[in-house]
């Protein structure tokens, strides 16, 4: 089965790939509707860049970025909305405007109030592994055993979430490619996605346009689709549940073709 596609929509001026493109509400709304039309299974709205070297913004600034868009698309988007935040105050306002998924790059570590908020509203939560903080996480990241350390971290965060009242079937895990990992780490993790299957919850992979996908041709983020799709292919082969991407249309078509190759009977039946 193909993974579901989580479309990235950053309403930030400084995200590594699309920073500044969707700071205007009309542009962001148009992009959200476009991604749905292209086949996105959910839209991930983010108001704070967590790229390597980024500095945290205030809660007020994050709210000023995301709330106008959430208000603008409320009722017009027929797929789940994810709020990419690590703050309860932001998640609370996003939930009031229809968000049903919280994508937390800190795996419920940065804000003690976020776990109970998610539990109270019975939301889906994405728990991501992050080694350090965005400002410094890419300064010589080092592991003894990258696979086992990430797995142990995610296992502990799953148990924390369950203890906080979040249903286990509402938890998704993300090994956090690019968040405190070397180039080699990112490829090793992706080569061994099955290592995380024993945790018994859905798995998400987010490689789209990240710097390690540009090592073969020194491409800019916009030119990293070929290598990004290689990670999508690996996710599909490993039966990963979600892929988080910028290039929704290309990813959806790619996955349809992959599915049709594996089962030609799907041709003409609507491949997904």
* Number of helices (H), then strands (E), in the chain: 8, 8
Note if 24 is an active site residue. Answer: no
Question: Which candidate in 234, 244, 256, 272 is catalytic?
Answer: 244
Q: What percent of the chain has pLDDT over 70?
A: 93
- Residue 129 to residue 237: CA distance in whole angstroms: 22
Residue 210 known to be catalytic: yes
Residue 51 clears pLDDT 70, i.e. is over it:
no
pLDDT attached to residue 49: 79
Distance CA 248, CA 138 (A): 27
Contact predicate 65/12, CB 8 Å: yes
Maximum Cα–Cα distance across the chain? 52
Distance CA 227, CA 6 (A): 18
Tokens standing for 152? 């142990």
Task: Name the band, by pLDDT with cuts 50, 70 and 90, for residue 267.
Answer: confident
Taking only the tens place, the pLDDT of each residue in 93-141 is 999 999 999 999 999 999 999 999 999 999 999 999 998 777 766 777 8
Mind listing the domains of the chain with CATH numbers? 4-246 (3.20.20.20)
Concatenate the DSSP letters of all residues of 37-63 into one string: HHT-SEEEEESS--STT--PPPHHHHH
Q: What is the tens place of the pLDDT at every residue in 54-100?
A: 677 899 999 999 999 999 999 899 999 999 999 999 999 999 999 99
Q: Which of 29, 181, 210, 224 is catalytic?
A: 210
């Amino acid at each position: 089965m193909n993974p579901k596609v989580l479309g990235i929509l950053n309403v930030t001026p400084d995200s590594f790939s699309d920073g500044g493109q969707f700071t205007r509400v009309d542009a962001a709304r148009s992009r959200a509707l476009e991604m749905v039309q292209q086949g996105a299974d959910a839209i991930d709205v983010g108001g704070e860049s967590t790229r390597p070297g980024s500095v945290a913004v205030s809660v007020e600034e994050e709210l000023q970025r995301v709330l106008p868009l959430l208000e603008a698309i409320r009722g017009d988007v027929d797929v789940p909305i994810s709020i990419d935040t690590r703050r309860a105050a932001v998640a609370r306002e996003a939930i009031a405007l229809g968000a049903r998924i919280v994508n937390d790059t800190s795996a419920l570590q940065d804000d003690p109030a976020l776990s109970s908020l998610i539990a109270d509203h019975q939301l889906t939560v994405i728990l991501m592994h992050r080694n350090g903080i965005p400002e410094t996480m890419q300064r010589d990241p080092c592991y003894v055993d990258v696979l086992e350390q990430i797995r142990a971290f995610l296992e502990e965060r799953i148990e924390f979430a369950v203890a906080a009242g979040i249903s286990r079937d509402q938890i998704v895990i993300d090994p956090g490619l690019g968040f405190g990992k070397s180039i080699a780490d990112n490829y090793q993790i992706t080569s061994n996605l099955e290592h995380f299957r024993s945790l018994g919850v859905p798995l998400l992979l987010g490689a789209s346009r990240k710097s390690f996908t540009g090592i073969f041709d020194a491409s800019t983020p916009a030119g990293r689709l070929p290598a990004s799709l290689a990670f999508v292919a690996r996710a599909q082969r490993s039966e990963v549940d979600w892929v988080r991407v910028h290039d929704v249309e290309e990813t959806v078509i790619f996955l349809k073709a992959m599915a049709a190759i594996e089962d030609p009977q799907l041709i003409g039946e609507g491949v997904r």
